[in-house]
Amino acid sequence: MPTTVTPPRSSKKPPAKGTRGRATAEQMASRQREISVSEFFAKNGHLLGFDNPRKALLTTVKEAVDNALDACEEGGILPDIAVELLQLEETRFKVTIRDNGPGIVRKQIENIFGKLLYGSKFHRMKMSRGQQGIGISAAGMYGLMTTGQPVLIISKTGRRRPAHEVILKMDTARNRAEVISETEHPEDDALFQEGHGTQVTIELEGRYQKGRASVDEYLEQTAIANPHARFTYVNPGNETIDFPRAVDELPPEAKEIKPHPKGIELGTLIQMLERTEKTQLGAFFKDEFCRVGPRVAKEICALADLTDRTWIKQVGHAEAESLYKAIQSVRIMAPPTDCLVPIGTKAMLAGLLKEVKAEFFAASSRPAAVYRGNPFQIEVGIAYGGDLPGDELGRVIRFANRVPLLYQQSACCSFKAVVEAGWRNYGLQQARGSLPSGPVVVMIHMASTWVPFTSESKEAIADYDEIRKE
């Protein structure tokens, strides 16, 4: 008779019906790691304007031109910018932008072109085109991801100084640049006739198409909002288009201001209290904010049941919250507006006359206003008649800090304000919820120390009541 052996019972309970074996907390912990900001944006390029090849080409040109204009203006130089699009294959382009700005010192090249969230503008309360320190390095990252090619930068800071040529690529895991090669050109003035400037070349996957939301339209509109700049554009068809300078005077330089108390959140106030070198509340409010003098500082402190001589180290979370509530209750003068540089009616008209074929032009600059403690100013220009089509909807061209906004028109506060205007009062036909019909172009510009864009790609202005009212 065969012997039967009964296997020992397992002490492990079988998984319950409808479940499966799951990872332990230790196993899950072993798979977790920190993600760098460059890794995140490499996988989410649409957040920065790299949604598709056509838009990616435009975004790359835009970011480089914005940087060039800012650099020239900050250096007190009338901008002379060259843009070249060289088509290598059907969907591959080499984009080269050259400016006559002050140049970039050698040790900063890697950080500016190979590191996200690096720049000089994020912490400064003054009007500028760039805000986040993302744009040009993100364009280089997109080029690397789509073609595998690095970024080429040549920069020269003075006639008697050498030009530095650097080829680099971004290490997305560590959010920093990896220099592939660098060369010094002691006597190379061929690229930079004025003895200084920067040239950047990015190879990327893209698609070129004329018309709305194209590189061509972007440069045309940039020339309107920046009549003090000259642009030379070579398109993929090897056609050279010149956008001449309309005015020979730089806009006044925007001045930097301190934060306004009405424009900060509670968490920001707590961080400022933790980081300040001041020892008493009165000195903290007077020195860290604009428009806060001794009287206002005392009033804020008194409403929070504190005094202007209260030691900072005695201010905890509860006291900070009381101070924050007190700030909202106290009347504080609006922030100064010399941190803004509006285009101005004269320059707006010069830009429109240069690029729009109409017979009637008008422009107006509103007085500066404030949203959430941030100063801003709205300017409007209009062109009517002439060669503009009379059987189509009117056209709106939107700008923020002199930069054209070409996408997400219907989501933009500027566009909504135009639609809501009573155009029938001026003899134009207008269907409900749409633009007026007729030969009209409306230009709207918002200048601000901090433009409230709806996303990181900076394509539309958020719909704040204070902004739409203006």
Tell whether 194 is covered by a domain.
Answer: yes
Distance CA 229, CA 79 (A): 5
Distance CA 88, CA 204 (A): 10
Q: State whether 173 and 278 are in the same domain.
A: no
Q: State whether 453 and 318 are in the same domain.
A: no
Distance CA 382, CA 203 (A): 38
Distance CA 371, CA 334 (A): 10
CATH number of the CATH domain containing 388: 3.30.230.10
Closest CA to 355 of 200, 219, 238: 219
Which residues are within 8 A (CB) of 47 and not within 5 positions of it... i.e. 6 or more apart?
Answer: 41, 455, 456, 457
Q: State whether 417 and 286 are in the same domain.
A: no
Tell whether 153 is covered by a domain.
Answer: yes
Inter-residue contact 412 to 398 (CB < 8 Å): yes
How much is the pTM? 0.82
Tell whether 404 is covered by a domain.
Answer: yes
Give Cα separations from 208 to 52, 253, 436 (angstroms). 11, 35, 30
Both tokens of 236, joined, read 């993929």
Per-residue pLDDT of the chain (470 residues; tens, 9 = 90+): 555 556 556 555 665 555 566 777 777 666 665 555 555 555 555 555 577 899 999 999 999 999 999 999 999 999 999 999 999 999 999 999 999 999 999 999 998 888 776 554 444 577 877 654 467 888 888 899 899 999 999 999 998 899 999 999 988 777 788 899 999 987 667 889 899 999 999 999 999 999 888 999 999 999 999 999 999 999 999 999 999 999 999 999 888 888 889 888 899 899 999 999 999 999 999 999 999 999 999 999 999 999 999 999 999 999 999 999 999 999 999 888 888 989 999 999 999 999 999 999 999 999 888 887 788 999 999 999 999 999 999 999 999 999 999 989 999 999 999 999 989 998 899 998 899 999 999 999 999 988 999 887 788 999 988 898 88
Instruction: Give the total number of structural domains in the chain.
Output: 3
Tell whether 108 is covered by a domain.
Answer: yes
Distance CA 370, CA 360 (A): 32
H-run or E-run covering 276: none
Q: State whether 310 and 354 are in the same domain.
A: no
Q: State whether 216 and 94 are in the same domain.
A: yes
CATH number of the CATH domain containing 176: 3.30.565.10
168-177 in b/e burial notation, b at 16+ Cβ within 10 A?
Answer: bbbebeebbb
CATH number of the CATH domain containing 289: 1.10.8.50
296 backbone dihedrals φ, ψ, rounded to 5°: -65, -40
Q: State whether 169 and 239 are in the same domain.
A: yes
Tell me the residue range of the domain where 52 lies.
42-243
Give strand ranges (E) for 208-328. Answer: 230-234, 240-243
Distance CA 354, CA 243 (A): 9
Q: State whether 125 and 238 are in the same domain.
A: yes
3-state DSSP call for residue 266?
helix
Last residue of a domain, one of 282, 298, 329: 329
8-state DSSP, 139:
H
Distance CA 121, CA 126 (A): 8
Place of tokens 């390029």: 45
Tell whether 359 is covered by a domain.
Answer: yes
Q: State whether 274 and 385 are in the same domain.
A: no
Instruction: Calculate ∠ Cα 131-135-137, nearest 5°.
Output: 130
Last residue of a domain, one of 243, 270, 305: 243
Q: State whether 357 and 307 are in the same domain.
A: no
Tell whether 189 is covered by a domain.
Answer: yes
Q: State whether 198 and 68 are in the same domain.
A: yes
Q: State whether 214 and 275 are in the same domain.
A: no
Tell whether 447 is covered by a domain.
Answer: yes
H-run or E-run covering 4: none
H-run or E-run covering 39: helix 37-43
Tell whether 181 is covered by a domain.
Answer: yes
